Amino acid sequence: MPLIIFCCLAALLCGTATADKGDYAPLWERGADDVVSTVAISHDGSLVAAGAGSTVSLLDREGDILWETAVGSRISDVAISPEGSRIGVAADKLYLFDGDGNLLWAEKTTYIYRGVALSSEGISIAAACDNGALFVFDQDKNILWDYDMGTDGYGVAISENGRRIALGCDNHGVYYLNSGEGESWSYGTGNCVKGIALTPDGRFVAAGSLDRCVYLSTAEGEHLWKYPTTEAVLATALTEEAREVLAASGRTIYVLDQSGAERQKITLGGRVESIAVTPDGSFLAAGGGDGDRSVHLLTKDAALLERMNPVEPAVNETDLPKENVTVPATLADESADTAAEVNARAGGEEVSLFSTISGWLENILSLLFKPQADFIA
């Protein structure tokens, strides 16, 4: 026990390691008129779907808006099929669009859809609702399968072949289901689970809880580890084989490796509302809340970064925070003053010593408790 506490303190006191060539770097950002509550990305990183207020947008890899349209209420979630041919939107209705922005159908019920996920080609559309139901539709709006969770569902994820579904719920539970069969296993966290992610093959599950922890499990229900963050975890994302586990907590995106070790921390100018990553880890999309209100695309592709962001006069790096901060790339339709203001906010806020120490102790204590494997829904 003393060794565990010592290691935790050492990691927290030492901070983040210096960025290396494998780190994500900002490619572009696109401002929105509202909080960007949700983002999704195609497997090749060529398309990014985003929801801000009641508007859903589809952007290309260069940050250009291909199309955008308004739905009937504030958007809870967006999803894009792996190849980018279908876009799902969870709001007052469940909406399905094609890649050109044409509405294929909308499903109206007496409840609100909170989460949506699409398998390849949009053959299976999983939707979580605030009445405790989970639905799986086909492309023609037929219900393939439904399941009563008995609690409000938030985040939902589906495997590429549509056979595996993971769900995060209001009752603190993380659920793993086999489509058409029902629950395979579940466990409890310390609070509501809003962030959920699956690897494309469904072999790993990442969950983010308002208890300020990230959880990684296998498809067999084996709990691999939990990682404490400083604030509630609103979203998670996974690359293939869980080589990278990403989590949105406060203004920070944590990038962890499969063992739970921290690889990078990325800071936005406002709270990170949503994240999505390509299976190979080449591209990372993020949606920012108040103080940011932008769609961000980051990449590890050095050649693409050099082409889209030509080298400019060096910035005085001593004025930047110690973390690996994402400095927004100014768009042609945004002023340089606005970008400078965002950067100043990202680096200028300080946390009191009392809050820092309290956070350390809380994180250390959280590591001493395992997920509730005997969780009863």
- 265 contact partners, CB below 8 Å, separation of at least 6: 16, 252, 253, 254, 255, 323, 324
- Three-state SS across 82-99? CCCCEEEEECCEEEEEEC
Separation CA 233–CA 179 (nearest Å): 26
Separation CA 333–CA 131 (nearest Å): 42
**CA angle in degrees (0–180, nearest 5) for 365-218-126:** 105
Q: Phi first, then psi: what are they for 304, rounded to 5°? A: -65, -40
DSSP 328: P
Q: What is the pLDDT of residue 317?
A: 37
Q: What is the pLDDT of residue 336?
A: 37
Bridge partners, 133 (sequence order): 148
Separation CA 99–CA 87 (nearest Å): 7
Separation CA 72–CA 67 (nearest Å): 17
Asked if 238 contacts 254 with a C-beta cutoff of 8 angstroms, the reply is no
Q: What is the pLDDT of residue 351?
A: 42
Structural domains of the chain, ranges and CATH numbers in brackets: 29-303 (2.130.10.10)
Separation CA 173–CA 152 (nearest Å): 10
Separation CA 163–CA 297 (nearest Å): 29
- 18 contact partners, CB below 8 Å, separation of at least 6: none
Give me 57's structure tokens: 């947008």
Give me 325's structure tokens: 């901060």
3-state secondary structure of 19: coil
Angle between helices 353-367 and 2-14 (to 10 degrees): 140
* Average pLDDT, 10 consecutive residues per value, the chain (377 residues): 47 40 92 97 98 98 97 96 98 97 93 96 95 94 93 94 96 93 92 97 98 97 96 98 98 97 97 98 97 97 89 44 39 37 36 52 56 56
Q: What is the pLDDT of residue 325?
A: 41
Sign of the dihedral defined by the CA atoms of residues 225, 227, 228, 234, in that order: negative
